Amino acid sequence: MAAGTVRGRRKGRSKAKLIFFGIEMIIILAMLVVLYLVLNKSSEGPKMAELDPQVLEIHEEVQQLKEEGGTMQGYRNIALFGLDAETDDQLYKNSHSDSIMIASVNMDTGDIKLVSVYRDTYLNLAGSDNNYWKATQAYFAGGAEQAVKMLNMNLDMDITDFVAVGYKGLRGVIDGLGGIYIDVDSVELQHINNYQIGISNVLKCDYTPVRETGYQLLDGMQATAYCRIRYGGGDDYKRTARQRKVLMALEERAKETDLVTLTKVFNDCIGDIYTSLDSGDILDLLADIGKYSIVGQDAIPQESMRVPEEIGAKGSCIIPDSLEDNVVWLHGFLFGDEDYKVTESVKECQKQIEADTAPYMDK
């Protein structure tokens, strides 16, 4: 596929959308679930969902390779979605997954690797035979189930679990923990307060401007605005990196917080969590919480294997220059399988992506 150039800038949205999560946050939230249920003696908890593995587009070759002792054996892969949901109903459908991550956990070592999937990546949305558009549209169309199908179908994954978080929770979590420490540079300072204005309009609350650069304590509004910054170089690619930076700071802060405070924080955001993880899953994660650590993080499509382009009415998209090469990279990064052979399904998706986007690419 020939390399292309950007034909138009993406316009910033007026509505603030909050982005946060990662496997460490799943563990933190899981811990809070248990604490809340025990200390409050309540059956209330996160909104639960059950996904049927038989309908999640896990390719037969992928499943067979895992069962035969292939490189995916011993790993648990979980999809993480950050939604622009404004109501409880939108946690289930009709909201965009503006952050999409895969958390891959080595169950023997506790090592965790995070891979972001850029929201505008042009992929098969898994809803029908020829349904290609931005990855973020899968959750809007069919909720968590279709979004998980999309990841499995395009990337040769075996994901059967997910965690989705609506925008209401992030500000409260960060404020409940007393804020997080972030190093704000001069470019970020130019934009962070503008994003605070948009978020304050949505949440109908005040905000405190950030007035200087450097390593400093940010409150919930400020940190949320920080991970929304899209301009000043890097666009969505740099924004994704900021999101991971906020995640790591949030994890560090949470681990320093006492259990009573953590319980109160979870009590405040309990209604904004939608997940397939049941109590058994949660307890399994808690059993060895000390052994888990993030050892690597990245994003897909890779910089050398993507082309940003306007695709007619479908808008500005990120085109995998070769979906097959990106999937090979992904399996090498997550599982150490540098010689991974993609399935025929991935090859078919690649052919369709090339056919759909070729008329729009600069020659």
Tens of pLDDT along 294-327?
Answer: 888 999 999 999 999 999 999 999 999 999 999 9
- The phi-psi region of residue 255 (left if phi > 0; otherwise alpha if psi is between -120 and 50; otherwise beta) is alpha
Look over the chain and give the mean of its residue pLDDT values, rounded to a whole number: 81
Q: What is the pLDDT of residue 227?
A: 82
Q: At residue 18, does pLDDT exceed 90?
A: no
Q: What is the mean pLDDT of residues 85-99?
A: 81
342: nearest Cα among 327, 361, 363, 362: 327
Q: What is the pLDDT of residue 29?
A: 57
In tens, the pLDDT along 106-144 reads: 989 988 898 999 999 999 998 766 789 999 999 999 999
- With the C-alpha atoms ordered 338, 343, 346, 348, is the resulting torsion angle positive or negative? positive
Q: How far apart are CA 326 and CA 303, in angstroms?
A: 10
The string of DSSP codes covering 270-311 is: GGGEEES--HHHHHHHHHTGGG-EEEEEEEES-GGGEEEEE-
Q: Are 361 and 307 a contacting pair, CB within 8 Å?
A: yes
Q: What is the pLDDT of residue 17?
A: 41
Q: How far is CA 345 from the centre of its chain?
A: 23
Q: What is the pLDDT of residue 216?
A: 97
Q: At residue 240, does pLDDT exceed 50?
A: yes
Give the relative orientation of helices 168-176 and 259-269 as an angle to the nearest 10 degrees.
160
- Residue 220: other Cβ atoms inside 10 A: 24
Q: Are 2 and 139 a contacting pair, CB within 8 Å?
A: no
Q: What is the pLDDT of residue 152?
A: 97
Helix (H) or strand (E) holding 105: strand 97-106
The pTM score is 0.81
Cis peptide before 301 (omega within 30 of 0): yes
- With the C-alpha atoms ordered 276, 279, 280, 281, is the resulting torsion angle positive or negative? positive
Q: How far is CA 266 from the centre of its chain?
A: 20
In tens, the pLDDT along 225-234 reads: 898 888 766 6
319: nearest Cα among 360, 269, 273, 263: 360
And the tokens for 334?
């997550």
Q: Where are the alpha helices (DSSP H) in 231-294?
A: 235-255, 259-269, 279-287
| Domains of the chain (ranges, CATH numbers) | 23-168+264-354 (3.30.420.590), 177-256 (3.40.630.190)
